[in-house]
Amino acid sequence: MKPSKSIIPTAALCGLSLLSSATQVSAQDVNSPAVPPASPPAPGSGVAFSDGELDQYVKAALAIQQIQQDSAVPESDKQAKIAAAVQQAGLTPEKFNQIALASQSDPALQQRIQAVAGKLQEHDAAVNGTPEI
């Protein structure tokens, strides 16, 4: 059995809508050893995430949502695809979990994530010529 990691995408985005509620997803990371999920930082602990990290987080969350909703992907393949999506976005599963957990108790971080998501949606709409909803 391959080691598994827990990925918690609190920024599960629906199409062009803003962030929705938290969902827990199990994912297997085939390239690194098993590590317990990051523990949530205490409120006010001063954990800061760069805009680049939040951009990567939102991209990973969007990719995870697409994988979860894709009925053509067998359930048995989704875990590996989710782990790959997090890595392709440029984050480790640990960093993804750290951001996800911190955002659950930090309204300011939630707002920053929503702002990043909005910018990505605007950019995608401009690039793809898709009207915003």
Question: What confidence tens digit (pLDDT) does each residue in 7-59 have?
Answer: 444 333 332 233 333 333 333 333 443 344 444 444 444 578 999 999 999 99
Residue 94 belongs to some domain of the structure:
yes
Residue 54, C-beta contacts closer than 8 angstroms, at least 6 positions apart? 99, 112, 113, 116
Higher pLDDT, 14 or 125: 125
Is pLDDT larger for residue 1 or for residue 100? 100
The reported pLDDT for the residue numbered 113 is 96
Instruction: Please write the tens of the pLDDT for every residue from 60-102.
Output: 999 999 999 999 999 999 999 999 999 999 999 999 999 999 9
Give pLDDT, residue 128: 76
Judge whether 95 lies within some domain: yes
Domain-located, residue 11: no
Determine the Cα–Cα distance for residues 119 and 126; give it in Å rounded to an integer.
Answer: 11
Q: Would residue 68 count as lying in a domain?
A: no
**Any domain includes 89:** yes
Count up the domains in the chain and report the number. Answer: 1
Domain that holds residue 82: 78-125
Residue 46 resides in a domain: no
Contacts of 80 (CB under 8 A, 6+ apart): 27, 28, 30
Residue 100 lies in a domain: yes
pLDDT of residue 105: 94
Report if residue 21 sits inside a domain: no
Nearest to residue 99, comparing CAs of 128, 58, 44? 58
pTM: 0.65
